Amino acid sequence: MKNSSAIYPSLAGRHIFITGGSSGIGGDMVAAFARQGARVSFVGRSASSAEKVVRACEGAAVQPHFIPVDLADVDALRAAFGEAIERSGDLDVLVNNAANDERHAFLEVTPEYFDQRVAINLKAHFFAAQAALPSMRRRGGGSVINVGSTSWKLKGAGYAAYATCKSAATGLTRSLAREFGPDSIRVNTLTPGWVMTERQLDRWVDEAGERAMDENHCLPGRILGSDVADLALFLAADESRMITAQEFVIDAGWT
């Protein structure tokens, strides 16, 4: 993971809430915002992974605060927002990052399994935004960043439920941007390509995947979680104050 060289003074002291922040791209986002001097609250299921993320932020002006939550539990998610706001004040930024790209055969998906995938990959985003937006209204504005995926754009097989949810991120973004724009709340989609997180490297990246990236990336190299975090910083900062209802793709030119 590289450190961002960009400093956004408007992020210092702001309250950032990140879902799925205990590992992967979310962990890189927690670290990136902490280095900007922001007050970061983040949720996830793994306390041990979250501890590693917090340790990586040693030296930050304000240490990130982890709240363990099963994001499929809407009541628990709402309670986490209440705890974060009580501890660190109203929210300035929500990053809807939590996701699970578990593979599945379409013809074997049951209604119960489908509901589980939706609960993590879409429902949590919807109700996290519902919990965050009144707080941003009280602050007089804010930024919601919905993390999408290029998986559905690439017509990837083996995770239809995941791809369905990720394609819905754009619809959620555009609807919320119109409804809450008068409150000076910006809503955008940040869409990563294949990011070389520990999970991806352990489970999915093989020789065929390496060849696919070499053949389809317009740029050399691999996408890191810190690359995605850099874009999130911009979308959260005042420098993007007139940008809303948009999708920002970071996939080295694959799509």
Element of type H or E holding 42: strand 39-44
Closest CA to 79 of 25, 128, 16, 134: 128
Q: Give residue 240's Cα distance to chain centre.
A: 17
* Cβ pair 249, 194 in contact under 8 A: no
> Phi/psi of residue 248, each to 5°?
-115, 115
Is residue 39 within 8 A of residue 51, CB to CB? The reply is: no
**From residue 18, how far is each of 92, 109, 144, 207, 255 by CA, in Å?**
11, 29, 10, 33, 26
223: β partners: 195
Would you call 162 a catalytic residue per the annotation? yes
Catalytic residue among 8, 113, 159, 162: 162
Catalytic site residues? 162
